[in-house]
Amino acid sequence: MLVCGILFLAPLGCGQTLSAAIEDNMSEIRRNVFEGQNDSLKVSFMSGEREDPYEYNGISEKNIDFGIFTVYFNEFIGNYKVPFVATINEEKFEGMLEKNPYNESYMVDIEKSAADDAEIIISINNMPAVVLENISSTWQVDYNQALELGKTYLNDELNEIYSSGKFQAECYLKPITDEKFISGQYFWSFYVVDTKFVRHTVMFDVNSGDLLVKNKTN
């Protein structure tokens, strides 16, 4: 069941609410997820806005659009770069996917976000083209609702962060899944990093909104 609540009514110094301060300090917000696959690979595309330069330092910079293709090949690919050609509503993008140093995926940021109804097609390494579908459109909790739930679940922590009258932190909202997208199951993750590098995280279901994980790391 979705959680609702009226929170964050306390004003900051010039009358800005905490809720508004959070939205002004979103260093990344991923709004949608597209996926597709064929016999050789599986690919996802996530898009939204994120800060530039991108740093976990508790300070939110100016946001720019991003669109990240992530590809997992079913068989080992020896190259560190793989060519791709993609279209989003017939707008063409081409270049190189680069090997992720932390896992077996290949990634590229085309610096372009996509609407929920976008038509996305990608061809990788001269393989047959893959049509991507917006899987996040089936979730009962969209990114706007997820942001409100994140604020609710971290209400006490967020109020402590701005207790001095200034919001000294940056916020992130992302859909996350397992490596290689094997399960097909996603969760919303909302987390806050303050200027002392303390991180508060909550993770909740994309359909019920139920809280699954809440933790603090230094």
Amino acid at 120: I
Q: What is the pTM of this model?
A: 0.90
How far apart (Å, rounded) are the C-alpha atoms in residues 174 and 50?
11
The CATH number for 33-135, chosen from 1.10.260, 2.50.20, 2.60.40, 1.10.10, is 2.60.40
Q: Is residue 184 a contact partner of residue 39, using CB atoms and an 8 Å limit?
A: no
Q: Is residue 169 a contact partner of residue 150, using CB atoms and an 8 Å limit?
A: no
How far apart (Å, rounded) are the C-alpha atoms in residues 54 and 154?
23
Question: What's the pLDDT band for 11 if we cut at 50, 70, 90?
Answer: very low
Q: Is residue 169 a contact partner of residue 197, using CB atoms and an 8 Å limit?
A: no
According to DSSP, the residues that pair with 214 across neighbouring strands are 202
Q: Given a cut of 70, is residue 5 above it in pLDDT? A: no
Pairing relationship of beta strands 91-99 and 211-217 according to DSSP bridges: unpaired
Judged by DSSP in three states, 179 sits in helix
Question: Residue 2: what pLDDT?
Answer: 54
| Residue whose pair of structure tokens reads 């996917």 in the numeric block | 97
Cis peptide bond prior to 53, omega within 30° of 0: yes
The CATH number for 18-25+138-217, chosen from 3.10.450, 2.60.40, 3.40.1130, 2.40.50, is 3.10.450
Question: What's the pLDDT band for 143 if we cut at 50, 70, 90?
Answer: very high
For the chain, give every domain's residue range. Answer: 18-25+138-217, 33-135
How far apart (Å, rounded) are the C-alpha atoms in residues 67 and 69?
7
Question: What's the pLDDT band for 180 if we cut at 50, 70, 90?
Answer: confident
**Fold agreement between 18-25+138-217 and 33-135:** no
